[in-house]
Amino acid sequence: MSLRNVKGTRDLLPPETAIWQAVEDVVRRVFALYGYHEIRTPLLEDTELFVRGVGEGTDIVGKEMYTFEDRKGRSLTLRPENTAAVARAYLQHRLQDQPPPVKLFYVGPQFRYERPQRGRYRQFHQIGAELIGDEGPGSDAELLLMLVRFLRELEFESLTVRLNTVGDAASRSRFAAALREFLLPQRDALGEDSRRRLDSNPLRILDTKVAAERELLVGAPRLADFLGEDDRRHFSRLLELLDRWRVPYEVDDGLVRGLDYYTRTVFEIASQDLGAQDAILGGGRYDGLTRDLGGPEVPGIGFAIGQDRLVEVLPESFRQRCAGAPPVVVVPVGEHHQETCLALGERLRDAGVVALVELSGRSVKAALKAADRQQARFVVLLGDDEAAQSTVTVRDFARGEQAPVAQDRLAGWLRERLDRVEGDPSSTVAAGR
């Protein structure tokens, strides 16, 4: 039996990789407009980083991490998320010495052991950003403005920001105690996961999708009743700023997010066009994370997008724009013209034209069939007659026409016509055939 990829992982192949690259190009362009710079943290981290940063009572730490001992007995973990790793790098490299806020973004793989299903993998990819060093609601608003801009550049429509405030650590602690007391008499009616969360992180029960458990929560204490005055003021100002910039939003009292480090603002952004599973990304404020990792208390806010699912639900209009320029295939009619065709290929590439030179020695008929499968718009033929006149014959597949073109004019001639094709969204090539 031949070897296969590990369960829960996958190979990303062309043409899908072109779509991934196009999404990442938008990430880098849009995030740079807001002053964010890329950070790349290691795939391997000390296990304690996630125990302290993400929370020992979370599903990630309790059930999903890939953790092992190395040859010296040190406990290491493949990173299951990147916010804790970015915070660790921020402290280790004294980025707090830079003028605040420090704005960082990342693109890369994460690892969690969970049941593989459509859009969810054991090696998955995240796009995320962290703004560290400012506690004001203006930073919350700016991050949300950036994310709405980013999603609109990917051509998502009908976007809504769902948001809530979970208060500071003291507010969360008071609310968690009240929620636990409310649910304890009904413990036996909870599922296994919720019973475990009741002891370790009762706020996670608010995320339950089990109808019977949601009924049990009717009449439960409300987080809003446990907020301090500063928490309320922060959230009220954030809503004012979103109103000012006409960002569509709705306040969701049940939105808490699952990680222990969240404080105050938590959010999701959803598109009504995606049906029941409409959330695209999520995040929140984590003002105590750096303190939990042993450093000074520095406020921060960030988000993460599962890139695998993001690509899966991309609007078709954006996917079509990712096809890239069609290749031009250069075919020597006779092996003794290969060297000249290689030179022509280089001239075309110098002009920014994607050029594929036929080097297999197969017949012209077979080469033309292959060029059609490669979605070439133009094929350049060079035989004895063309060589004698320093010309080539260019065949236009879409129009069913061909014409002689001087070799020294070929690059400009093709560039002009390809620009015209790429600029016409109704053309065969632009639409991906």
Tens of pLDDT, residue by residue, the chain (433 residues): 789 999 999 999 988 999 999 999 999 999 999 999 999 999 999 999 999 988 876 778 888 999 999 999 999 999 999 999 999 999 999 999 999 999 999 999 999 998 877 778 999 999 999 999 999 999 999 999 999 999 999 999 999 999 999 888 888 888 889 989 999 998 888 888 888 888 877 887 877 778 888 888 888 888 888 898 999 999 999 999 999 999 999 998 878 776 667 889 999 999 988 877 789 999 999 998 899 899 999 999 999 999 999 999 999 999 988 877 789 999 999 878 999 999 999 999 999 999 999 998 889 999 999 999 988 999 999 999 999 999 999 999 888 899 999 999 999 999 998 887 665 544 433 333 3
Site of tokens 């996630």: 50
* Total-model pTM: 0.86
User: Which residue type occupies 284?
Assistant: G
What is the β-pairing status of strands 66-69 and 249-251? unpaired
Consecutive H or E run containing 112: none
Measured from the Cβ of residue 46, the count of other Cβ atoms closer than 10 Å reads: 13
CATH architecture for the domain at 16-168+228-319: 2-Layer Sandwich (3.30)
Q: Where in the chain is the domain with CATH 3.30.930.10?
A: 16-168+228-319
Site of tokens 């695998």: 308
Report how far residue 297's alpha carbon sits from residue 286's, in angstroms, rounded to the nearest whole number: 10
Determine phi and psi for 143, rounding to 5 degrees.
-60, -45
pLDDT score of 386: 92
pLDDT score of 433: 31
* Residue 354: C-alpha distances to residues 4, 46, 201, 349, 378 (Å): 32, 45, 55, 6, 11
Is 160 exposed, middle or buried, given 0-12, 13-18 or 19+ CB atoms closer than 10 A? Answer: middle
CATH topology of domain 325-422: Rossmann fold (3.40.50)
* Residue 137: C-alpha distances to residues 53, 160, 196, 240 (Å): 23, 19, 34, 10
What is the β-pairing status of strands 123-132 and 75-78? unpaired
Q: Where in the chain is the domain with CATH 3.40.50.800?
A: 325-422
Report how far residue 171's alpha carbon sits from residue 181's, in angstroms, rounded to the nearest whole number: 16
Measured from the Cβ of residue 291, the count of other Cβ atoms closer than 10 Å reads: 14
Consecutive H or E run containing 401: strand 401-406
Alpha carbon 30 to chain centroid, angstroms: 13
Cross-strand bridge partners of residue 125: 109
pLDDT score of 87: 94
Coil, helix or strand at residue 205: helix
Beginning with the edge strand found earlier in the chain, give each strand of the sheet holding 249-251 in spatial order: 37-38, 102-111, 123-132, 300-306, 279-285, 263-271, 159-165, 249-251
Determine phi and psi for 280, rounding to 5 degrees.
-100, -40
Report how far residue 379's alpha carbon sits from residue 410's, in angstroms, rounded to the nearest whole number: 12
